[in-house]
């Protein structure tokens, strides 16, 4: 497990935004991963996707690494942010905007506003 933790740690620290998910950003393999990827894709965030279905050790290791039982998991600037429900709530409350702004992560503010308008 140490090797997988090292790989996860290196990935999280080497990329500003990382989404550990089932599938890929182009082809999510579960509804929860699809929802988070859709938000990030729609608002134009440049992020690294890691397909946990391609590596069973990674799939188990990410849950231990974050002490979070579910996938997807979003990391921003090396910090665990949350899973699907948390990211959805943050997108709808504009808290996600603030997180990206405070970390100098480029995103489309107009698109983020449209998500909120569509869900109002």
Tens of pLDDT along the chain (120 residues) come to: 579 999 999 999 999 999 999 999 999 999 999 999 999 999 999 999 999 999 999 999 999 999 999 999 999 999 999 999 999 999 999 999 999 999 999 999 999 999 999 998
- Stated as kind and residue range, the H or E segment containing 89 is helix 84-93
Asked if 80 and 98 count as a contact pair (C-beta separation under 8 A), the reply is no
DSSP run (H or E) holding 73: strand 73-76
DSSP label at 87? H
Q: Where are the domains of the chain?
A: 2-115
32-63 b/e (C-beta count within 10 Å ≥ 16 → b): bbbbbbebbeebebebebbbbeeeeebbebbb
Q: Which fold has domain 2-115?
A: Glutaredoxin (3.40.30)
Enter the pTM of the model: 0.95
Q: Which two tokens stand for residue 13?
A: 């620290």
Distance of CA 14 to the CA centre of its chain: 15
């Amino acid at each position: 497990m140490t090797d997988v933790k090292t790989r996860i740690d290196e990935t999280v620290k080497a990329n500003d935004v990382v989404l550990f998910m089932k599938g890929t950003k182009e082809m999510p393999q579960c509804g929860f991963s699809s929802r988070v990827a859709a938000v990030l894709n729609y608002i134009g965030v440049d992020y690294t996707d890691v397909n946990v279905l391609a590596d069973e050790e990674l799939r188990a290791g990410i849950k231990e690494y974050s002490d979070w039982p579910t996938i997807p998991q979003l990391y921003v600037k090396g910090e665990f942010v949350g899973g699907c429900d948390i990211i959805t709530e943050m997108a709808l409350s504009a808290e996600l905007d603030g997180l990206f702004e405070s970390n100098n992560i480029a995103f489309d503010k107009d698109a983020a506003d449209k998500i909120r308008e569509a869900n109002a």
